[in-house]
Each structure stands twice: as C-alpha cells, then as structure tokens.
A and B are shown apart, each in its own frame.
Chain A
C-alpha cells in the first residue's frame, strides 16, 4: 500500500510538469503559428517562402529529433537550455507548424467578399485583416486548434527523452524502482486520459458557443 502511495505521489508531482510543458508549448505554438500565418497573407513572396521553409522543416522531421537538436545540439555549441525550456521550445516550434497550417487555411476559408466589403468601407488591408478576417478565421480555426491541444498533451511524453521529469519520465523511473510496470503504465494512461478529456470538452463547448450559442444574446 505504501508503494502505491509513493507511486501516486510521484506521478501527481510529474503531472504538474506535464501540464506546464503543455501550456508553455501551446502558447509558443499558437502565438508563433498564428503570427506566421498572418504574415504570409500580408507579405512579399520572399518572406513567404522563408516561412514555408520553416514550416516544412518542422513538419517533415520527427519531433523527437527536433528535441534532441534543441537540447543536445544547441547545448554542444554553447546554447545550453534547461530540459524544460528545450522541451517547451521544441514542442512549441513543432506545434507552430501545425497551427500555421490551421490558421492559414482558416484565413483562406473566410469569404473573399468579406475583404471586399471591408475595403469598400475604407479599411486598409491591415485593418480588414484585424477587424474582419481574423475574428472570423479564429472561429473557423478553433475546433482544429482544440484537437491539436489534445494531441499536444500526449506528445509531452516525448519530453521524457530530454529528461523533463514529467509523467512518462517518472513512470519509467518508478518501474525501474518497483517493477510494477503494468500497474504504473495503466495509471499513467488513465492520467493522460483525464488530462485530455476536459480539454476535448472545452474545445467542443467553445466551438458550440462561437457558432450557434451567440444567438442567445440576439
């Protein structure tokens, strides 16, 4: 019994790391991905191609390898990051490629007529993007961003590879100490499930609220 109390205590502690890495990586991914997507709609071809190159590199190489490069690779040439920073940065930059694609296609999905109507009332290109296009694109993007966030919770287990003491990392250590591999990994799976579920719910709630729920105040 004491062993289980120890296991649960350790995993609860690890949970905090999992959540922290998720939040940090999500913020980086969302902000960076959205900004890059907005820039591509406004900028010159050269800038656009640079951004595409960035996105393609992150989309077409494994996250795990990206984490190794950021943690070990940068470390070796003098940019030593803590495991936590490396994980947040790596997962965040990797996620920014995903968010970029989501936001870019959402910006495209907003009807052309909306740009024209904004232009016709004298808005500059930047004003129309800001006041007319982005609010509508975010609404379109939200369900996919929600799905990405749920995926991210699970992907944080990769941070164990650069020694962030999150769930997967701690679980492996505990198995080494106690040999209770079945029990421990089942508990860990249950914890990931419990972490993801409310996020999934939140995403679909927000989606409902933004699409049809607005009728309430009409």
Chain B
C-alpha cells in the first residue's frame, strides 16, 4: 500500500492543564475521504488544526507525504522548522473554517487570487482565470465583484472553498464547514463538498452532519475525550458500532 498523504502520529495537545488530544493516530491516504465525528470538546477540531499546524502539537508528529510537517530533523533531533518552510508546506493543504474567514477588505475574486499571486507567484491574469472557473464551479460566477458582507453565509463558505482550491492543494481540511450556517444554506455547501469528493479530492472532514458523513466518506473516525474510540467504514460506524460510546453518541444524535 502506498504511503499515507497525511499521517498524524501519537499527537498530544495540551492547552495549559487541559489535555485535549491524548495520543491520536490518524492516517489519510490519497483520494480518501475521512470524517471525524464525536461530541463537542472531543478534540476533533483540534486534531484537524494540528494537521496543518495551526495548532502545534504538544508532542507527536505530522507527516505530509512521508515528510515531517512543521518540523525538521537537525543532527538527529526534531526541531520546529521556520515560518517560511511551514508556509510552503501549508500551500499543499487547503482548509475551510467554520466561520469562513474570508478577507473582509477584498472582493470575492481577490480573495481567491490573493494566495496564488502572492504565495505561488502566479500572474494576476492567470490567477483570475482560474478564480473564475472556481467561482463557476461553486455556483457563484456572478458574484466575483461582491464583498464578503454582501454574501450569505452559504455563499461565503463556497467562496472560502474556492479560495482554498485555488492553491491546488493535495488535501482539503473542513472544520465544521456548515455549523455556522442557517439550516436552509447547509445543502448548497454540502453539495460543493460532495462534488469535490466525487472528483477524487483527498478530504478530512470534521462534521456534525451524520447523513453527509455516511454518504461521502469512505472512513469514519469517532473521537471522544481526546482519543480515537473507533474507526471504520461508514456502514460499520453508523450501523454496527463496536464500541458502547460510539453507539451512545449516535443515539443522542438521532434522538435530537
């Protein structure tokens, strides 16, 4: 089997006295779609943020295509790598946030071209051409001159997805991408994510949308209290969970 595209090995994360991740392993192969589910506070978002070093793990390592991410080996010791080296590796990892985080001072199209032009050094015209294709793909071709505050939450999130895709990432991380949306806007964002999955994008998805997780992912990881409790195929996790805590969690969700 080929080497995982992203591998998190024995990740611990502490915020002061709070032990949020307690030795988590996760490995994501090329083209795989993995959903991280679990109760709030279980550490799934923190784990996702460790995968691109927005959070630096307290211990443990992340490997991108077999190579250390955010760290490097110097004389047999593993030390943090420079801001520039980390930034370069991050271009390969797209991220979509719960609160969209579009750049408020820029139009839609400028949000999408900022990374390619400033980070990848692409020409403005070429970047805009790509951006227009991406906007069409997320169904917002008519909104390229709009500012963030003129868009609905669902539209903003679709722009945010286009912005991440413009960097041509090898993997996309979704941090509760629909949790901040009004219920009627969730569908349009999930649709874009599903299209992306069908195109073969490697995806790691933190979500509370169980039906979506079941439909789109090929592996589901259930976390609670900073540990991975169980992982397996969607069919197994959602219909024949082996662990009591998984079953209990799914029951509270379906009882809602």
Question: In the complex, what residues of B have CB within 8 A of residue A125's CB?
Answer: 83
Give the secondary structure class of A's interface: helix
How many chain A residues sit at the interface, stated as a range, is 20 to 34
The answer to whether A121 and B97 have CB atoms under 8 Å apart is: no
CB of A105 within 8 A of chain B? no
The answer to whether A123 and B146 have CB atoms under 8 Å apart is: no
User: How far is it, in angstroms, between the C-alpha of A111 and the C-alpha of B98 when the chains are bound?
Assistant: 14
Q: CB-nearest residue of chain A relative to B49?
A: A116
Residues 143-168 of chain A, each 1 if its beta carbon lies under 8 Å from chain B, else 0: 00000000000000000000000000
The answer to whether A214 and B147 have CB atoms under 8 Å apart is: yes
The answer to whether A215 and B90 have CB atoms under 8 Å apart is: no
The answer to whether A131 and B99 have CB atoms under 8 Å apart is: no
Question: In the complex, what residues of B have CB within 8 A of residue A205's CB?
Answer: none
Question: In the complex, what residues of B have CB within 8 A of residue A111's CB?
Answer: 101
Residues 69-102 of chain B, each 1 if its beta carbon lies under 8 Å from chain A, else 0: 0000000000000011001101101110101011
The answer to whether B145 and A217 have CB atoms under 8 Å apart is: yes
Number of cross-chain contacts by CB at 8 Å: 75
The answer to whether A124 and B115 have CB atoms under 8 Å apart is: no
The answer to whether B150 and A218 have CB atoms under 8 Å apart is: yes
**Which of the segments A8-16, A18-26, A63-71, A132-140 contacts the partner chain?**
A132-140
User: How far is it, in angstroms, between the C-alpha of A135 and the C-alpha of B105 when the chains are bound?
Assistant: 7
Question: In the complex, what residues of A have CB within 8 A of residue B147's CB?
Answer: 214-215, 218
CB of B52 within 8 A of chain A? yes
The answer to whether B94 and A124 have CB atoms under 8 Å apart is: no
CB of A191 within 8 A of chain B? no
Q: CB-nearest residue of chain B relative to A211?
A: B149
Given the known interface contacts A215-B150, A217-B145, the answer about A116 and B54 at a Cβ–Cβ threshold of 8 Å is: yes
User: How far is it, in angstroms, between the C-alpha of A118 and the C-alpha of B83 when the chains are bound?
Assistant: 13
Additional pairs, 13, CB under 8 Å, beyond known A117-B97, A118-B103, A120-B93: A113-B99, A113-B101, A114-B103, A114-B104, A116-B54, A116-B101, A117-B102, A117-B160, A117-B163, A119-B87, A120-B90, A124-B87, A131-B118
A-B contact pairs, 27 of them (CB 8 A): A114-B101, A114-B103, A116-B54, A117-B95, A117-B101, A117-B102, A117-B160, A117-B163, A119-B54, A120-B93, A120-B94, A121-B90, A121-B91, A122-B87, A122-B90, A122-B120, A123-B118, A123-B119, A124-B87, A127-B119, A131-B114, A132-B114, A135-B105, A136-B103, A215-B147, A218-B107, A218-B147
A residues apposed to B, CB below 8 Å? 111, 113-114, 116-125, 127, 131-132, 135-136, 139, 214-215, 217-218
B residues apposed to A, CB below 8 Å? 52, 54, 83-84, 87-88, 90-91, 93-95, 97, 99, 101-105, 107, 114-115, 118-120, 145-147, 150, 160, 163-164, 167
